[in-house]
Homo-oligomer: A and B are copies of this chain.
Amino acid sequence: MDGVAGTGIPLRSILEHGSHGLGTFRGMRGELIAFDGEVWQMKHDGSVRRADVSGADGEDYSPFAMVTDFRAEHSGTATLSEKGGVEGVLAALAPDAHNTHIAFRLDGAFKRIRVRTAQGQCYEGEGLKDVASRQVEVTLPASRGTVVGFRSPQFLQGVVVAGVHMHYIDDARTAGGHVLALESDGEVKVQVAELWRTVMDLPRGDKAFNEAPLALNDGGIKAVEG
C-alpha cells in the first residue's frame, strides 16, 4: 500500500480478526506488535507506548496491519544464529504450508537483535522508500522478549511482504521494532500456526487510498523490508 498511510482502519476493527500480529500506525509512525491481548507502538525515538484500541475518538488507526487469532499447531525450540535461520525452522515445523501464510511466535533470550523503526511520513502520500530512508536502526542490548511474525508465500508479494516479516518487543516493554537481524541466546521457544484463509479489508471512503496509483512494486518492497 505504498505511500497510502494517512488514514487506515481503526485498530479495534482490525483486532476483530485476532490479536496476534504486526503492522504500522497512521502516517507510518512506528511499528506495531500485538500478542496476548496487548498492542504496542514502538517509535523511532526509542519510546514504547500501549496502543489505544478504546474505540474513542483518539483511537489509533493502521494503514497496514496483519493479524490472526493465533492458535499454535506446531511448536518446538530452536537456536538461531541469524535472521535467515527462521525460515528453515518454520519450514521444518510446517512442511505442508509452503504456499500459504504461517503465523509464528518466538519467546526467549536474545544475545543480539537489530531493529528498525519508521519515523513516519513527512507528507501525506510519501512513499515507503523515502520513509525508509529516514528509519532509525539500532542494535538492542541482550534481552528477553517476544518476536511476532508471518512467513508469507512468494505469490503474495505486493499484497503483503513475501517471506519472513517479524517485529520484536522485550519483556520489559521498553524497546523493539521491525527485526533486521537476530541471534538467540540459547534455545528459544517457537510456535507456529498455518493460515489457509486470508481476509483482506481495504479502507472504504478514503480519498487518498482511492486515488493512489497502487501497482506491483516487487523491487521496492525487497529494498526496504529486508
Q: Which residues of A contact B (CB under 8 A)?
A: 1, 96-100, 153-159, 194, 196-205, 209-212, 214-216, 218
Contact = CB atoms under 8 A, between A and B. Distances in A.
Given A153-B214, A210-B99, A215-B155, A200 B200 contact: yes
21 contacts: A96-B205, A97-B210, A98-B210, A99-B209, A99-B212, A154-B214, A154-B215, A155-B158, A155-B159, A155-B216, A158-B216, A159-B159, A196-B201, A196-B204, A197-B199, A197-B200, A197-B201, A198-B198, A198-B199, A199-B200, A216-B216
A12 B133 CA distance: 49
A128 to B, nearest CB: 13
B199 A199 contact: yes
Contacts of A218: 216
Contacts of A200: 197-200
Contacts of A99: 202, 209-210, 212, 214
A70 B100 CA distance: 27
A225 to B, nearest CB: 15
